[in-house]
Amino acid sequence: MFKNIRSTVALLLFFAGVLNYLDRAALSVMAPLVKKDLHIDDAQMGILFSCFFIGYCLFCFLGGWGADRYGPRKVFGWAAVVWSLFCGATALAGSFFQLLIVRVLFGIGEGPMGTTTNKSISNWFPRREVGRAVGFSNAGQPLGAAVAAPIVGLIGLHFGWRVSFVAIAILGFVWLAFWLWLFRDKPEQHPRITAAERTLITAERPATRLTEKGAPSRVRLWRYVFSLPVLGVAAAFFCFNYIQFFFLSWLPSYLTDFQHLDIKSMSLIGILPWLGATIGFIGGGLVSDALYRRTGNFLQSRKLVIFCGLAVAALCVMLTAWASSVTMAVTLITLASVFAYMTPQACWSLLQDIVPAERIGTAGGFVHLLANLAGILSPGITGFLIQYGGGYASAFMLASVLALAGMLLLAVFVRQRSVNALRALA
């Protein structure tokens, strides 16, 4: 189908990201209609955005553990069934509390996505291609958020907001069929892979191994997940996620309520920040791989990308608090998205260099759990700031400060000496 099997793997993971962010962004796009239909205020809408991450965070960790134990093919398959079912079930909600329950269950289905994607990349890509693979695979996520605005917005306007969730659920089951048909947990298990490609991948997998023969390690998992380098990656990821979920949950409402756009205009203009984020994902992967080839230092190449990405994003988000026009606001938010989205793929590939292969799923799940606590906090805090605090300006200021905090924690916790000490455990 493509020039090699790992390209097919990357494409499957790319479309998984598109679907995951298409369906989770659908509620934010439809928020004006849902609030009117179900009589929900801004604070309640913030709670609905946040409650998705209650189930999501728990299954970030459990999904990563499952990917290590049972393989990403099974875990991602069952996750797709759950997220598609409860995305469709959103159309049946008739009250705030019914919608809240559906959102929690929906989050459970999507929880394994990030860690299972990282596990799949760890199994399928050589070290020299990790940045590009993570960048391309995860670029589907902001692209899904980008297409959510016109697709979900226009379906909602013409057929009602409930129909849009059913349509997205059907797409989830279509993706599942392709996943089960084309994907295997490791190159060694794929019936159509060439010997040359299998050798290329297995000779240069990104993560170190616990033992040469794969024997059980005497080093407990918690020595890795509670180490300073892993916690430093989690902190940077958390601060990026706060910005991401602020935009994902509240950007449509900001454009309609604060900048006074109608839903049709918002659906079109709202694409721009997510197209910028897609560029950031892919560009961050290319830049980090190029820096690695130039310097030979995997750790510093990833840290530099994260540091620069969060720095520029913090500045742009802060300036948005004083934006005086729609053009200025959207331009700043788009620039913030480009640079902010350079950081998550660097976090994922950095983690693969820190943690041994047999622990990457579970450790990645733990990092993803901590990082996605931002999904619980960001939408809810933003909703209360809008309704009871300083409005959108204070919400932008808080997101900017957290991005700066992520830079500081990364610099302090993720150092070559502490990473070398962690590797020595293996």
Residue 236's pLDDT is 93
* Spatial contact of 62 and 113, defined as CB atoms under 8 Å apart: no
User: Nearest CA to 95 among 38, 34, 37, 163?
Assistant: 38
pLDDT value at residue 200: 80
What amino acid is encoded at 253 in this protein?
S
CA distance 219 to 309: 34
> Does the pLDDT of residue 219 top 70, yes or no?
no
Domain borders along the chain are 5-186+221-425
**Higher per-residue pLDDT: 150 or 77:** 77
What percent of the chain has pLDDT above 90? 19
Q: Distance (Å, rounded) from C-alpha 23 to C-alpha 425?
A: 41
Full 3-state SS string of 232-284? HHHHHHHHHHHHHHHHHHHHHHHHHHHCCCCHHHHHHHCHHHHHHHHHHHHHH
Q: From CA 175, how far away is CA 285, in angstroms rounded?
A: 25
Structure tokens at 21: 């962010």
Residue 163 has phi, psi (to 5 degrees) of -65, -35
pLDDT at residue number 212: 46
**What confidence tier does 216 reach under pLDDT thresholds 50, 70, 90?**
very low
CATH code assigned to 5-186+221-425: 1.20.1250.20
* Span 88-124, pLDDT tens digits: 898 888 888 898 998 889 989 888 887 788 788 888 8
Two structure tokens written together for 341? 């989205």
What is the number of alpha carbons within 13 Å of residue 95 lying toward its C-beta? 2
Q: Are 362 and 61 in contact (CB under 8 A)?
A: yes
Residue 215 has pLDDT above 50, yes or no: no
pTM over 0.75? The answer is no
Q: Tell me the average pLDDT across 66-72.
A: 85
Q: What is the mean pLDDT of the chain?
A: 83
Q: How confident is the model at residue 426 (pLDDT cuts 50, 70, 90)?
A: low
Rounded Cα distance between 333 and 247, Å, is 9
Q: Is the model's pLDDT at 403 over the cut of 90?
A: yes
Least confidently predicted of 174-188, 202-216, 336-350, 383-397: 202-216
| Cα–Cα dist 29/149, whole Å | 6
| Mean pLDDT of the region 188-196 | 83
The average pLDDT across 299-316 equals: 91
Lowest-confidence segment of 270-284, 340-354, 376-390, 412-426 by average pLDDT = 412-426
- Average pLDDT over every residue of 32-44: 82
**pLDDT above 70 covers what percent of the chain?**
93
The whole-number pLDDT of residue 357 equals 67
Per-residue pLDDT band for 245 (boundaries 50, 70, 90) equals confident
369, pLDDT greater than 50: yes
Q: Which amino acid type is present at position 335?
A: L
Q: What is the pLDDT of residue 211?
A: 47
Q: What confidence category does residue 176 fall into, taking pLDDT thresholds of 50, 70 and 90? A: very high
